[in-house]
Amino acid sequence: MQEVLNIIQKRQSARIPFDSERRVAKEDLRQILEAGRWAPTAHNMQNFEIIVVDDKKVLDAIGSIKSTVSETFIRENYEHLSFSEEELLKKKVGILGTMFPPAWRTPGYKPDKDTDSGRPVQTSPVMLIVVYDPDRRAPASEGDFLGIVSLGCVMQNMWLMANSLGISFHVVSAIGTDPVEKEVKRILNIPDRLKIPFAFRLGYPVSTPAKYPRVRRDIEDFTYHNRFGK
């Protein structure tokens, strides 16, 4: 049991470039997909498909797509920032501001069309593109909340398996945003009715990722007994 908890605690995201010459072994990739196959889904609907992309030409086409950052993202992201490790350790939630460009750490900053647009989508030797059908949902699940939770379970299972195998993992949420999603759908021949909630980069970093303090609330901070409140 402790081994499972250790894997969960050591799970992390690698937001840096991956070695383009080092491939993920087919057996390792299959184990990651197997972990996703056994993720719990609402009503056991298994409402997801996964496209494995390892063709360099296809990856280059995806990597040529430009993504933009919105004013909403910068404004709402700022609210979650801590500006020192001490502040982050005290708050126990959020992320360290140094992970983002200096301008994004400035209150009221608005995206600049020259510096904040045209960022290429990050790729890796193998990417997993997750798609689902928004017209299908679990019974009486208004807004398909349970379906979205299910996709999170698929992500978590695959993420933990990858990390346990020593393979770095990075969720590429930009692929699920317009107009990036539209272009990825065209490249991969994905039907219009399907949505791309996110994609994963798998591989091995070209350098050691920067170390950031990892924080979580204590159990006593979020649990109550018999009724809500202290």
Domains in the chain, ordered, with CATH?
2-68+118-206 (3.40.109.10), 69-116 (no CATH)
The model's pTM is 0.92
| Tokens of residue 72, six digits | 């909403």
3-state secondary structure of 36: helix
pLDDT tens, residue by residue, 163-206: 999 999 999 999 999 889 999 999 999 999 999 999 999 999 99
How far is the C-alpha of 218 from the C-alpha of 168, rounded, in Å? 27
C-alpha closest to that of 196 among 177, 219, 214 = 177
| Tokens of residue 176, six digits | 């699920």
pLDDT tens, residue by residue, 105-143: 988 898 887 777 678 999 999 999 999 999 999 998 888
Q: Which residues contact 96 (CB under 8 A, 6 or more apart)?
A: 81, 82, 85, 88, 212, 213
Q: Which residues contact 70 (CB under 8 A, 6 or more apart)?
A: 111
